[in-house]
Amino acid sequence: MTPPRLPQNRGLTAIDGAMALMVILLIVQVWLLSATLESFLAGHREAALPAVIISALLFLICLALYLFVDQVDAEVRRH
Amino acid sequence: MPWFRRPSSQPLWKDEFSILTADERYVNRRQLTKFLTLTSLGMLVGNLWILVRSWLYRAPVYPATPVARLDEVPVGSIKIFSYPGPREACILVRTSAESWVAYSQKCTHLSCAVYYARQANRLECPCHEGYFSLTDGHVLQGPPRRPLPRVLLERRGEALVAVGMDLGDKEA
Protein backbone atom coordinates (compact mmCIF):
# COMPACT_ATOMS: atom_id res chain seq x y z
CA MET A 1 0.00 0.00 0.00
CA THR A 2 1.53 3.29 -1.03
CA PRO A 3 1.51 6.01 1.59
CA PRO A 4 -0.55 9.13 0.84
CA ARG A 5 1.55 11.88 -0.73
CA LEU A 6 2.16 14.99 1.23
CA PRO A 7 0.56 18.21 -0.01
CA GLN A 8 4.03 19.66 -0.41
CA ASN A 9 5.06 16.91 -2.83
CA ARG A 10 1.80 17.27 -4.75
CA GLY A 11 2.54 20.97 -5.10
CA LEU A 12 6.03 20.21 -6.38
CA THR A 13 4.65 17.79 -8.96
CA ALA A 14 2.18 20.40 -10.19
CA ILE A 15 4.92 23.03 -10.40
CA ASP A 16 7.25 20.65 -12.25
CA GLY A 17 4.50 19.91 -14.77
CA ALA A 18 3.87 23.61 -15.29
CA MET A 19 7.59 24.26 -15.73
CA ALA A 20 7.91 21.49 -18.33
CA LEU A 21 5.01 22.98 -20.25
CA MET A 22 6.61 26.44 -20.07
CA VAL A 23 9.88 25.09 -21.45
CA ILE A 24 8.03 23.52 -24.39
CA LEU A 25 6.19 26.79 -25.07
CA LEU A 26 9.47 28.70 -24.91
CA ILE A 27 11.09 26.40 -27.44
CA VAL A 28 8.14 27.03 -29.77
CA GLN A 29 8.50 30.79 -29.20
CA VAL A 30 12.23 30.73 -29.95
CA TRP A 31 11.58 28.81 -33.16
CA LEU A 32 8.79 31.23 -34.08
CA LEU A 33 11.03 34.25 -33.55
CA SER A 34 13.87 32.82 -35.63
CA ALA A 35 11.48 31.76 -38.43
CA THR A 36 9.83 35.20 -38.46
CA LEU A 37 13.19 36.94 -38.56
CA GLU A 38 14.38 34.73 -41.40
CA SER A 39 11.14 35.39 -43.26
CA PHE A 40 11.40 39.15 -42.64
CA LEU A 41 14.96 39.26 -43.92
CA ALA A 42 13.84 37.38 -47.04
CA GLY A 43 11.28 40.11 -47.74
CA HIS A 44 8.14 38.31 -46.52
CA ARG A 45 6.82 40.97 -44.19
CA GLU A 46 3.27 39.62 -44.11
CA ALA A 47 4.27 36.88 -41.63
CA ALA A 48 5.07 39.39 -38.86
CA LEU A 49 1.52 40.02 -37.61
CA PRO A 50 0.40 36.36 -37.25
CA ALA A 51 3.73 35.65 -35.54
CA VAL A 52 3.12 38.40 -32.99
CA ILE A 53 -0.40 37.12 -32.27
CA ILE A 54 0.83 33.56 -31.72
CA SER A 55 3.79 34.75 -29.66
CA ALA A 56 1.46 36.88 -27.49
CA LEU A 57 -0.77 33.86 -26.99
CA LEU A 58 2.19 31.72 -25.93
CA PHE A 59 3.36 34.46 -23.56
CA LEU A 60 -0.11 34.68 -21.98
CA ILE A 61 -0.11 30.93 -21.41
CA CYS A 62 3.35 31.22 -19.81
CA LEU A 63 2.08 34.06 -17.62
CA ALA A 64 -0.94 32.01 -16.59
CA LEU A 65 1.34 29.11 -15.70
CA TYR A 66 3.55 31.42 -13.66
CA LEU A 67 0.53 32.70 -11.75
CA PHE A 68 -0.55 29.10 -11.22
CA VAL A 69 2.89 28.26 -9.79
CA ASP A 70 2.70 31.35 -7.59
CA GLN A 71 -0.69 30.30 -6.26
CA VAL A 72 0.39 26.71 -5.58
CA ASP A 73 3.48 28.02 -3.82
CA ALA A 74 1.35 30.32 -1.65
CA GLU A 75 -1.11 27.56 -0.77
CA VAL A 76 1.57 25.06 0.19
CA ARG A 77 3.27 27.61 2.40
CA ARG A 78 0.02 28.41 4.15
CA HIS A 79 -0.43 24.75 5.22
CA MET B 1 -3.80 43.59 -7.57
CA PRO B 2 -4.42 40.21 -5.88
CA TRP B 3 -2.84 38.12 -8.66
CA PHE B 4 0.52 39.78 -8.18
CA ARG B 5 0.69 39.90 -4.41
CA ARG B 6 3.50 38.04 -2.70
CA PRO B 7 2.68 34.37 -2.08
CA SER B 8 3.05 34.77 1.66
CA SER B 9 2.84 37.47 4.26
CA GLN B 10 6.52 37.01 5.13
CA PRO B 11 9.08 39.66 4.22
CA LEU B 12 10.51 39.46 0.70
CA TRP B 13 13.94 38.32 1.86
CA LYS B 14 12.39 35.33 3.67
CA ASP B 15 10.35 34.43 0.62
CA GLU B 16 13.27 34.56 -1.79
CA PHE B 17 16.01 33.18 0.48
CA SER B 18 14.30 30.60 2.61
CA ILE B 19 16.34 28.85 5.27
CA LEU B 20 14.08 25.79 5.16
CA THR B 21 15.08 23.09 2.69
CA ALA B 22 11.47 22.19 1.90
CA ASP B 23 10.65 25.80 1.08
CA GLU B 24 13.86 26.28 -0.88
CA ARG B 25 12.71 23.80 -3.51
CA TYR B 26 9.68 26.00 -4.07
CA VAL B 27 11.74 29.15 -4.17
CA ASN B 28 14.04 27.71 -6.85
CA ARG B 29 11.13 26.59 -8.97
CA ARG B 30 9.25 29.86 -8.58
CA GLN B 31 12.33 31.83 -9.57
CA LEU B 32 12.89 29.60 -12.60
CA THR B 33 9.28 30.01 -13.73
CA LYS B 34 9.65 33.77 -13.34
CA PHE B 35 12.77 33.64 -15.49
CA LEU B 36 10.98 31.51 -18.11
CA THR B 37 8.07 33.97 -18.19
CA LEU B 38 10.41 36.92 -18.65
CA THR B 39 12.21 35.05 -21.43
CA SER B 40 8.84 34.45 -23.07
CA LEU B 41 8.15 38.18 -22.81
CA GLY B 42 11.52 38.80 -24.47
CA MET B 43 10.52 36.57 -27.39
CA LEU B 44 7.26 38.51 -27.73
CA VAL B 45 9.16 41.81 -27.72
CA GLY B 46 11.42 40.42 -30.46
CA ASN B 47 8.40 39.54 -32.59
CA LEU B 48 6.89 42.99 -31.92
CA TRP B 49 10.15 44.59 -33.04
CA ILE B 50 9.96 42.68 -36.33
CA LEU B 51 6.33 43.77 -36.76
CA VAL B 52 7.24 47.43 -36.18
CA ARG B 53 10.14 47.15 -38.61
CA SER B 54 7.85 45.62 -41.24
CA TRP B 55 5.32 48.45 -40.75
CA LEU B 56 8.02 51.09 -41.05
CA TYR B 57 9.61 49.42 -44.07
CA ARG B 58 9.86 51.55 -47.17
CA ALA B 59 10.99 50.05 -50.46
CA PRO B 60 14.50 51.36 -51.08
CA VAL B 61 15.22 53.45 -54.14
CA TYR B 62 18.17 52.09 -56.03
CA PRO B 63 20.25 54.53 -58.02
CA ALA B 64 21.53 53.68 -61.48
CA THR B 65 25.26 53.32 -60.95
CA PRO B 66 27.93 52.32 -63.50
CA VAL B 67 29.84 49.40 -62.01
CA ALA B 68 32.25 48.32 -64.73
CA ARG B 69 33.35 48.75 -68.31
CA LEU B 70 33.10 45.60 -70.40
CA ASP B 71 36.76 45.65 -71.36
CA GLU B 72 37.91 45.62 -67.76
CA VAL B 73 36.13 42.30 -66.98
CA PRO B 74 37.31 39.49 -69.29
CA VAL B 75 35.20 36.35 -69.62
CA GLY B 76 35.54 34.17 -66.51
CA SER B 77 36.81 36.98 -64.32
CA ILE B 78 35.21 39.05 -61.62
CA LYS B 79 35.02 42.57 -60.32
CA ILE B 80 34.14 43.66 -56.81
CA PHE B 81 32.10 46.82 -56.52
CA SER B 82 29.83 48.54 -54.00
CA TYR B 83 26.10 48.82 -54.52
CA PRO B 84 23.76 50.41 -53.56
CA GLY B 85 25.79 51.95 -50.73
CA PRO B 86 29.55 52.29 -50.37
CA ARG B 87 29.64 49.63 -47.62
CA GLU B 88 27.67 46.97 -49.48
CA ALA B 89 30.12 44.90 -51.47
CA CYS B 90 28.92 43.05 -54.57
CA ILE B 91 30.59 40.65 -56.93
CA LEU B 92 30.26 40.82 -60.71
CA VAL B 93 31.06 37.70 -62.74
CA ARG B 94 31.31 37.73 -66.49
CA THR B 95 30.10 34.29 -67.54
CA SER B 96 30.47 34.70 -71.31
CA ALA B 97 31.12 37.39 -73.87
CA GLU B 98 27.54 38.60 -73.69
CA SER B 99 26.36 37.56 -70.23
CA TRP B 100 27.21 38.66 -66.72
CA VAL B 101 25.72 38.36 -63.28
CA ALA B 102 26.21 40.28 -60.07
CA TYR B 103 25.24 39.45 -56.50
CA SER B 104 25.65 40.89 -53.07
CA GLN B 105 28.88 39.53 -51.66
CA LYS B 106 27.38 39.02 -48.21
CA CYS B 107 26.47 35.40 -47.50
CA THR B 108 22.85 35.24 -46.30
CA HIS B 109 23.91 33.01 -43.42
CA LEU B 110 26.33 35.09 -41.35
CA SER B 111 27.47 37.76 -43.84
CA CYS B 112 30.88 36.34 -44.75
CA ALA B 113 32.11 37.44 -48.17
CA VAL B 114 31.35 34.93 -50.93
CA TYR B 115 33.85 34.37 -53.74
CA TYR B 116 33.65 32.99 -57.25
CA ALA B 117 34.81 29.37 -57.51
CA ARG B 118 35.72 29.13 -61.19
CA GLN B 119 36.20 25.33 -61.26
CA ALA B 120 32.79 24.62 -59.80
CA ASN B 121 31.19 27.64 -61.49
CA ARG B 122 29.42 28.79 -58.35
CA LEU B 123 29.71 31.29 -55.54
CA GLU B 124 31.10 29.87 -52.32
CA CYS B 125 31.15 31.09 -48.77
CA PRO B 126 34.38 30.00 -47.06
CA CYS B 127 33.03 30.28 -43.52
CA HIS B 128 30.49 27.44 -43.46
CA GLU B 129 30.69 26.08 -47.00
CA GLY B 130 27.48 27.63 -48.24
CA TYR B 131 27.33 27.36 -52.02
CA PHE B 132 25.18 29.51 -54.32
CA SER B 133 24.21 29.02 -57.94
CA LEU B 134 25.84 31.45 -60.32
CA THR B 135 22.72 31.40 -62.50
CA ASP B 136 20.20 32.86 -60.06
CA GLY B 137 21.88 32.93 -56.65
CA HIS B 138 19.82 30.15 -55.06
CA VAL B 139 21.34 28.02 -52.33
CA LEU B 140 23.01 24.84 -53.56
CA GLN B 141 24.16 23.58 -50.18
CA GLY B 142 25.10 24.66 -46.70
CA PRO B 143 23.47 26.56 -43.87
CA PRO B 144 22.16 29.64 -45.76
CA ARG B 145 18.41 29.49 -46.33
CA ARG B 146 17.95 32.57 -48.48
CA PRO B 147 19.37 33.20 -51.97
CA LEU B 148 21.97 35.87 -52.57
CA PRO B 149 20.43 39.24 -53.41
CA ARG B 150 20.97 39.78 -57.11
CA VAL B 151 22.10 43.07 -58.58
CA LEU B 152 20.10 43.94 -61.69
CA LEU B 153 22.43 45.01 -64.47
CA GLU B 154 21.87 46.84 -67.71
CA ARG B 155 24.31 47.27 -70.54
CA ARG B 156 24.58 50.85 -71.64
CA GLY B 157 27.09 51.10 -74.46
CA GLU B 158 30.30 49.61 -73.19
CA ALA B 159 29.36 50.02 -69.55
CA LEU B 160 27.44 47.83 -67.11
CA VAL B 161 25.06 49.79 -64.94
CA ALA B 162 23.45 48.51 -61.74
CA VAL B 163 19.79 49.54 -61.65
CA GLY B 164 18.30 47.62 -58.74
CA MET B 165 18.37 44.63 -56.44
CA ASP B 166 16.38 41.42 -56.56
CA LEU B 167 16.12 39.99 -53.04
CA GLY B 168 15.05 36.57 -54.26
CA ASP B 169 11.30 36.76 -53.87
CA LYS B 170 10.33 40.07 -55.36
CA GLU B 171 12.06 42.73 -57.35
CA ALA B 172 12.74 45.96 -55.54
Binary contact (B3, A49; C-beta < 8 A): no
Closest residue of A to B3, CA-based?
A67
Q: How many residues does chain A have?
A: 79
Continuous H helices in chain B: 12-16, 21-56
Interface of A with B (CB under 8 A): 8, 11-12, 15-16, 18-19, 22-23, 25-26, 29-30, 32-33, 36-38, 40-45, 48-49, 51-52, 55-56, 58-59, 62-63, 65-67, 69-71, 73-74, 76-78
Nearest residue, CB atoms, B33 vs list A11, A37, A69: A69
The model's pLDDT over A21-75, given as tens digits with 9 standing for 90+, comes to 999 999 999 999 999 998 898 888 889 999 999 999 999 999 999 999 988 887 8
Domains of chain B: 2-56 (no CATH), 65-166 (2.102.10.10)
What's the complex ipTM? Answer: 0.87
The pLDDT confidence band at residue B1, using thresholds 50, 70 and 90, is: very low
Residues of chain B with Cβ-Cβ distance to A5 below 8 Å are none
- Dihedral sign (CA A40, A43, A47, A53): positive
Q: In the predicted model, what is the mean pLDDT of chain B?
A: 86
A9: left (phi over 0), alpha (psi -120 to 50) or beta: alpha
Please count the CA atoms within 13 angstroms of the CA of B151 that sit on its side-chain side. Answer: 32
The pLDDT confidence band at residue B59, using thresholds 50, 70 and 90, is: confident
The pLDDT confidence band at residue B3, using thresholds 50, 70 and 90, is: low
Residues of chain B with Cβ-Cβ distance to A43 below 8 Å are 167-170, 172
Task: State the pLDDT at residue B172.
Answer: 39
Cα–Cα distance for residue pair B15/B35, rounded to 1 Å? 16
Q: What is the DSSP string of A7-66?
A: HHHHHHHHHHHHHHHHHHHHHHHHHHHHHHHHHHHTT-GGGHHHHHHHHHHHHHHHHHHH
CA distance between the termini of chain B = 51
The model's pLDDT over B97-128, given as tens digits with 9 standing for 90+, comes to 889 999 999 999 999 999 999 999 999 999 99
Return the number of other C-beta atoms located less than 10 Å from residue B62's C-beta.
15
What is the nearest CA distance from B98 to chain A, expressed in angstroms? 30
SS3 assignment, position B69? strand
Nearest residue, CB atoms, A22 vs list B33, B57, B169: B33
Binary contact (A73, B30; C-beta < 8 A): yes
